[in-house]
Amino acid sequence: MCLYLFKNFKVIKNNLKYFIEGLVIIFSIFISFYVEDVRKGNEDFKTKNELVGDLIVSLEDDLIQINNLIKILQSSEENILELLNDIDSSHKILADNEAIKKLLEIEVGISFFPKDGIFEQLISTGTFELIKNNELKRVLLEMFNHQKERNYATSTEIDLWNADYRGEILQKFRVRFSYNSYDGEFYGSRTLNTFYFDREYYLSNDFYGMLSQAQYYANMYMRQLNDIKKSYETANSLSVEEVKKES
């Protein structure tokens, strides 16, 4: 009887030993997974904060671009209105060379190119979901989806029209330039050499309609850029708050 109890006790002791060893192994695995999850979570939050910091810089660069484009469109609209007023007066306000200069300074075929690389990184790394401010996430999705597509569609329409407009102006007024490819920030600079002022065409309904269309596009794109600007300013402010909360 004693021998039987001793054997059972030994079996129980061995089983308890294995059970405890098993618990230790399971607990060790659990701890390792937990530590890894914490480490990964900390890394993801660090990555998210770094990307949001980069996003702030990118948004500020885009805001500079937007403001510059709006200034160009405002200046273009002013030139268009002066030309339309001159035409309404039967070309009694501006001299020929003044009219040509203002005509060539009209720029409506300009486009906003958003820097969306940081946003794409937030999405691809999964860190976008770690952004705590839901309003920031909503605004970013609106900016880099709907507004981006709308901007592309509008820019494409204006660019196609502007190509015909530019060709028409250069042809009808026989404009000739000289170029300095080493001057200027991107494309060099140009100097007006000669032109032929076609008064009949200048006072025609076709030309008047073309200027009115240019004014329409300038106003339409300015309105769109101002909408985009508001979203960028909101996103920039919310991004700064996001980074401050995590620091």
Residue whose structure tokens are 């920039």: 236
pLDDT per residue as tens, the chain (247 positions): 544 444 555 555 555 555 565 655 665 555 554 444 444 455 556 777 888 999 999 999 999 999 999 999 999 999 999 999 999 999 999 999 999 999 999 999 889 999 999 999 999 988 899 999 999 999 999 999 999 999 999 999 999 999 999 999 999 999 988 877 666 544 556 788 899 999 999 999 999 999 999 999 999 999 999 999 999 999 999 999 998 876 6
Under 8 Å between Cβ of 100 and 197: yes
- Give the Å distances, CA to CA, from 240 to 60, 180, 182: 11, 43, 40
pTM value > 0.85: no
Specify burial of residue 32 (Cβ count, 10 A radius: 0-12, 13-18, 19+).
Answer: exposed
Specify burial of residue 55 (Cβ count, 10 A radius: 0-12, 13-18, 19+).
Answer: buried
Predicted confidence at residue 29, as pLDDT, reads 55
Give the helix ranges, DSSP H, for the chain. Answer: 2-88, 96-104, 117-124, 134-141, 148-172, 199-202, 205-246
Residue 1 identity (one-letter amino acid)? M
Predicted confidence at residue 207, as pLDDT, reads 97
Predicted confidence at residue 244, as pLDDT, reads 82
Predicted confidence at residue 15, as pLDDT, reads 57
* Dihedral (Cα; 29, 30, 34, 35), 10-degree rounding: -40
Residue 26 identity (one-letter amino acid)? I
Q: How far apart are CA 51 and CA 218, in angstroms?
A: 34
Q: Would you tell me how many other CB atoms lie within 10 Å of the CB of residue 151? A: 20
Domain coordinates in residue numbering, the chain: 2-246
Under 8 Å between Cβ of 58 and 117: yes
Residue count (the chain): 247
Q: Quick one: which of 144, 99, 138, 105 has its CA closest to 121?
A: 144
- The region that residue 14 occupies, defined by phi over 0 for left and psi between -120 and 50 for alpha, beta otherwise, is alpha
Predicted confidence at residue 193, as pLDDT, reads 86
Under 8 Å between Cβ of 228 and 151: yes
Under 8 Å between Cβ of 104 and 169: yes
Under 8 Å between Cβ of 239 and 52: yes
Could you tell me how far CA 154 lies from the centroid of its own chain? 14
Identify the DSSP state of 133: -
Predicted confidence at residue 192, as pLDDT, reads 85
